[in-house]
Each structure stands twice: as structure tokens, then as C-alpha cells.
Chain A
Amino acid sequence: MVLGAVVGSVAAIGAGIAAIGAGIGIGQIGKGAVEGISRQPEAANDIRSSMIIAAAFVEAVALFAVVVALLGNG
């Protein structure tokens, strides 16, 4: 029982670390996009859509980690 709880916690910690990574990544994407838009406001639409796509890719990596955490948790 105690071991099970520990496994769950470790998985949660792993998911948390992955979330940190994804957070940094999405932050970088947002930063880059805002800088790009401020430099070239006329390209704002293109930049925004590429930003969303890139963010979705980074988020997917974090969610992979969540899946792995679920696997570990089960």
C-alpha cells in the first residue's frame, strides 16, 4: 500500500517535471511570437497560427509524460 502510494507520487513528480519543461517551452514560443509580432505587426496572423501549432506540439510532449505517468500509476 505504502509502495503503491510512493509509485503514484513518483509518477506525479515525473508529470510535474514534464509540465515544467513544457511550460518553459511554451513560454519561449510565446516570447518569440510576441517579439516577432512587435517587429512585424503585419505578419501577426501567420505568427499567431504558427505559435499555436508549435505550442500544441510542445504540449503534446508534456502529455506524453502524463501518459507515461498514468502507465506508471496503474
Chain B
Amino acid sequence: MVSRSMKSLLVLAFSLISLLFSNNTFAIGTADSTNSHHKAEKFDVAKTILDHIRDDYSWHLWGHTSIPLPVILYSDKGLEVFSSAKLMDEHHSPIIYQGNYSYKNIEGKIKVVNADGTVNAELNSKVWDFSFTKNVASLFISVFILLAVFLTVGAAYKKRGVSSAPKGLQSFMEPVVLFIRDEVAKPNIGHKYNTYLPFILTIFFLILINNLLGLVPFFPGGANLSGNIAFTMTLAVFVFIVVNIKGNKSYWGHIFWMPGMHWGMKLFLAPIELVGVFTKPISLTIRLFANMTAGHILVLSLICLIFIFENIFTSIVAVPFAAFIGLIECLVAFIQAFIFAMLSSMYIGMAIEEHHHHGDNEPHYNESDEN
């Protein structure tokens, strides 16, 4: 009953948001076309939210304080490194920086610009942006946390041996590790789960820590890394590589020449299965990205209600809702990390599974055993 009324309230909030969104776009549209200086500082919800969930060249801490992060660019003129502070003036508005080319931060991306401030598309494609952005910093923070936690736990196991009961951090992490082993890896990968368990564990904990860090609104967290498609795509590509390198004869057989079918059906199924090889990592990418981004958008939208109504009393409704969504997001952080790990192990399990078909007495050995 409570959740039901909660839901209807949520629906109300959403409809309100969508209503205001559409009103807002219309308002801006009309304002821009008719009277540009009339209420020019009108609050743009979509822009605010997008600013918050996208990557950045500096890490905003509070007010006008932010940490400038190094910008690393590689172009045909060589590598150049400079502070992102040089891309901003004292009012935090983007300015042109004269490096190998003239760079400017346009909507969160460094672009090569001409003298008049327009993007130079031809030169832009020559520049590779390897900047140490907010998300990269967050990634390294999470890597550092994971290393600190698990090296401690690993050392504790080495030191305390197996006879004594786990203690402290060790006893906190052991059930999670056991959960991944017994509920995720063992049933989905099969009897060779031990080889892939470190991979699955690393993926699970990296996603989990970044999901949780993303929910923290202030400094060590706040970067929307697991809601960034580059991050999820990289992990999915790792899974894709493992699956297709470790895939055995039977896996490829099931893709290109589905056993137990008419040859016409085999020809028909081959392209579908081949597409399936690529849709698996893509769905992994999009699922995690969309879930985390949607959660962030949701929380930010609820907070933005206050600024839309320009009334402090809106916070009485909006802040508890945002907190509630935040709690759900904590659950989602776990579920999405779990699902990513589970699907990864399922794909690996499918690739290394040894099939025994009728009329096929010859056993299939895994060719990638020696890898």
C-alpha cells in the first residue's frame, strides 16, 4: 500500500517534470526568438543535468572551487600536456588556449577552433584527446580503493592462514567474494569457473565501487563514471575479447553451423548468430550505462524541481524523493554490478561449454585450455 501510494506520487512527479520540460523548451525557444535579453538567466534543467552527468576537464568541488586536471592531447605535432585551468578565464567561462593548435572547451569537449571561435572539423579529427579527466581521476581513485581493500584482505588471508576465522574487512568481503563465486561464476561458467573467477570478480568490484562512488554527491565520488558509455564499453569489450578468444570449437560451431538443423536453416541462422556475438557486448554496454545515467538524471531532476519552481518549499517534497531514489539507486548499483558479472560469466560459460550431441561420440576438448 505504501509503495503503491509512493508510486503514484512518483508518477505525479514525473508528469510534472515532463510538463515543465516541455514548457521550458517552449519558453526558451520563444525567448530566444523574440527577446534575447528577457530573462536570459532562466534555469535550463536539461543543460544542468547534462553538465552534471558528463565528463569534465576539472573536478568541481564547491562554489567556484575546482581542481584543474591535466589535459593530454596527441596530434600530428606531437604530445602536449597542460592544465585545464588554461582553458578557463577567472569567471569560469571557456577561453581559447594556444597550444599546437588553438583549443577551446566547447560543451565539455576540447575542440580545435578557428580564429573566429568556430570548430575546425578538419584539424579536430587529427587531435586525440587522452586527457586525465574527472572520470579518469575517479577511475584511478576507485582502482586505488580496490587495491587498498583487496590487497589488505589478501594479505590478511596470507598472514592469518586458513584455520582462523576471517576478521574485520576480511569477514566483510568474504561473503561477497563467495557470493560471486557460488551464485555467479559456478552456475554460469561451469566446472572451469576457477580460471575466469578473477576476471569476473575484478569486473564486479570495479563496477560496484564506481556505481557507489557515483552516488556520492561530493568530492571522492560525484563522477558519473559507470554511467559513462566509454567505461561500460571498455569493460564490455574486455568481456567480448575473453569470450571470443576462449570460445571453443563448439561455440563457433553453434554460430556458423548450428548443429542438428537442416542446412538451409543453418545458412539462415549463421548471420543471426553472428550478429548475436556483437549484440551481447553492446547490450552489456548500454544496460549499465543507461541504468546508471538514468538514476543520476532522476535524482538530479528531483533536485532541479526546486530551481524550476524557484521556491524553497519545493524541497520538502523533492529532497525526500531524491533520497528515496538514492536508496533505490544503492540497490541498483548492486544489481547492475551483479547483472554485468552474471551476464559476463554466462557468455563465457556459453563459449567454453562442451556440448555432447546425439550421434557425436567424439568428445570436444577445449582448445584454449593451455592459454
Q: Name the residue on B nearest A1 (C-beta).
A: B29
Partner of A8, one of B25, B289, B332: B25
Give the A-B contact count at a CB cut-off of 8 A: 49
Give the number of residues in A that approach B within 8 Å (Cβ atoms). 18
Q: Is the beta-carbon distance between A60 and B290 smaller than 8 angstroms?
A: yes
Considering the complex, give the chain B residue whose CB is closest to the CB of A12.
B18
Do most interface residues of chain A lie in helix, strand or loop, or is the interface mixed? helix
Tell me the minimal C-beta distance from B276 to chain A in angstroms: 16
For the complex, give the distance between the alpha carbons of A63 and B342 in Å. 19
Per-residue A-contact encoding for B11-24, CB less than 8 Å = 1, 0 else: 00000001001100
Q: Measured between alpha carbons, how far is A64 from B18 in the docked complex, in Å? A: 19
Contact A12 B29 (CB under 8 A): no
Contact among A2, A16, A57, A63 with B290 in the assembled complex (CB-CB below 8 Å) = A63
Shortest Cβ distance from residue B160 to the other chain A in the assembled complex, whole angstroms: 31
Q: A12-B18, A63-B294 are in contact. Are A5 and B29 (CB under 8 A)?
A: yes
Q: How far is the CA of A16 from the CA of B294 in the complex (A)?
A: 14
B254 in contact (CB, < 8 A): no
- List 16 additional contacts besides A53-B338, A56-B339; criterion CB under 8 Å: A4-B25, A5-B29, A8-B21, A12-B22, A16-B18, A53-B339, A57-B339, A59-B291, A63-B286, A63-B290, A63-B291, A64-B287, A64-B290, A66-B290, A67-B290, A67-B293
Chain A positions within 8 Å of B283 at CB level: 60
Cα(A16)–Cα(B283), bound, Å: 21
Q: With A1-B29, A12-B21 given, is the CB distance from A56 to B336 under 8 Å?
A: yes
Cα separation A64 to B289 with both chains bound (whole Å): 9
Chain B contacts with A in 37-87, Cβ cutoff 8 A: none
Residues in A1-30 with C-beta less than 8 Å from chain B: 1-2, 4-5, 8-9, 12, 16
- Could you say which of A1, A52, A67 contacts B289, with CB atoms under 8 Å apart? A67
Q: Mark B280-313, 1 if CB is under 8 A from A, else 0.
A: 0001001101110110000000000000000000
Distance between B104 CB and nearest chain A CB, rounded to angstroms: 20
CB distance from B22 to the nearest CB of A (A): 6
Which 8 pairs of residues, A with B, have the shortest CB-CB distance? A63-B290, A60-B287, A1-B29, A56-B335, A67-B290, A5-B25, A63-B294, A56-B339
The distance in angstroms between the C-alpha atoms of A63 and B293, with both chains bound, is 9
